[in-house]
Amino acid sequence: MRILFLGAPGVGKGTHAERVGEALGIPHISTGEMFRRHVGSRTSLGLRVEEILSRGDLVPDVLTVEMMLERLRDPDTVDGYILDGFPRNLAQVHALDGAIGDYALDAVVVLEASDEVLTERILARGRTDDTGASVSNRLEVYERETAPLIHVYRERGLVLSVDGVGEIEAITAKILTALAAL
Ligand code: AMP
C-alpha cells in the first residue's frame, strides 16, 4: 500500500506513520527526519536547510522533490510506503503525481486536533525547531500551503479522517482498521 499521512505539526503524524509502517511492514518515509539527519551530519544539503528548518519555513521544492524522488527509487519501496511530510504543497503534489501517477496512492490519512492541543504538544516535545516563533510559523505554513491538499485528495476519494486526540495505541488501531477496510 502507498499511504500518505497529512496533518498539522504536533498532531502525531510522525508517531502514527511510523507505527502503521511497522504494522504493515512498509517503510516510513519522513522528509522532516531526512532533513534533520542531513543537518545532524552536516552534509551540504544539511547546511543549506538548517536555517530554514529552524525558522519553520518550507525547504525549496527543488531540493525537497529531488531528495524524495531519489528515496522513492530505493528497492525497499516496491511493496509500498508511508509518506510523512511530503507532499506539503500543491507543487509537490504535482511532482509526486508525475513520479508515481495521479492515482497511485491508496489512502490519505488526515489526523485532526485543535490548535490548542497542537501548540501544547509541540512545546512539550522540545525538538530544536520547537521554539515559540517557529511553532506559530509552522502552523501558519501548514494552514496556507498544506491544508489545501486535503481538498485535492478528498476529490480523489482518498481521504480517511481520524481524530488525533487520545491514546496513541487506540489511534493507531483506528487507522489500521480504516486501512484494512479499503
Ligand atoms: P516535519 O518533521 O515533517 O515537521 O518537518 C520538519 C521541517 O522540515 C519542516 O518544518 C520543513 O522546514 C522541512 N520539511 C519537511 N518536509 C518538507 C517538505 N515536503 N517540503 C518542504 N520542507 C519540508
> How high is the pLDDT of residue 73?
97
Which amino acid is it at 92? Q
Residue 105's nearest CA partner among 179, 177, 176, 162 is 179
Please state which of the ranges 18-22, 50-54, 136-140, 172-176 shows the lowest mean pLDDT.
136-140
Residue 157's nearest CA partner among 84, 107, 87 is 107
Calculated CA dihedral for residues 123, 115, 4, 105, nearest 10 degrees: -170
Interval between CA 181 and ligand 1 midpoint (Å): 30
Q: Is the CB of 10 under 6 A from ligand 1?
A: no
Which amino acid is it at 135? V
Residue 27 contacts residue 76 (beta carbons within 8 Å): yes
Q: Is the CB of 13 under 6 A from ligand 1?
A: no
> Mutation test of ligand 1: which of 33, 52, 88 has the most ligand atoms closer than 8 Å to its C-beta?
88
> Mutation test of ligand 1: which of 5, 55, 58 has the most ligand atoms closer than 8 Å to its C-beta?
58
Residue 105 is placed in which grid cell? 496512492
Query: Which tens digits make up the pLDDT trace of 83-130?
Result: 999 999 999 999 999 999 999 999 999 999 998 888 888 888 878 888
> How high is the pLDDT of residue 92?
98
> How high is the pLDDT of residue 127?
83
Query: Which tens digits make up the pLDDT trace of 19-48?
Result: 999 999 999 999 999 999 999 999 999 999
Per-chain mean pLDDT for the chain:
95
Angstrom distance (rounded) from CA 157 to CA 153: 6
Residue whose Cα lies nearest atom 10 of ligand 1: it is 56
Residue 91 contacts residue 61 (beta carbons within 8 Å): yes
Please count the CA atoms within 13 angstroms of the CA of 117 that sit on its side-chain side.
12
